[in-house]
């Protein structure tokens, strides 16, 4: 067995439309918990991948989000 983490093929791309956008990774399992947080400033881009540990991603602030399902904006 290799040491590579098991991952899903789903990625999202998040572009901050204002300073201070927060991206929060949430865990899988019986108890959902925060496990990783990133802060983006206006114009910064984050590409995130769903993994065996990450089942959800929460975004706070104005951002544009791209997924395999399309594009959306969040925040006001």
pLDDT of 1-39, one tens digit each? Answer: 456 555 556 889 999 999 999 999 888 777 777 788 999
Measure Cα distances from 10 to 17, 25, 42, 51, 52 in Å. Answer: 23, 14, 24, 8, 11
pTM above 0.85, yes or no: no
- Which residues are paired to 46 by β-bridges? 14
| 2 within a domain of the structure (yes/no) | no
| 56 within a domain of the structure (yes/no) | yes
| Number of domain units in the chain | 1
| CATH for 54 | 2.60.40.50
| 14 within a domain of the structure (yes/no) | yes
Name the residue range of residue 54's domain: 7-74
| 18 within a domain of the structure (yes/no) | yes
């Amino acid at each position: 067995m290799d040491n590579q983490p098991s991952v899903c093929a789903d990625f999202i791309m998040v572009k901050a439309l204002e300073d201070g956008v927060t991206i929060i990774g949430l865990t899988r399992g019986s108890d959902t918990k925060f496990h990783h947080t990133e802060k983006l400033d206006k114009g910064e881009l984050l590409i995130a991948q769903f993994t065996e540990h990450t089942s959800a991603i929460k975004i706070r602030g104005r951002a544009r989000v791209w997924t395999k399902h399309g594009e959306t904006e969040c925040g006001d």
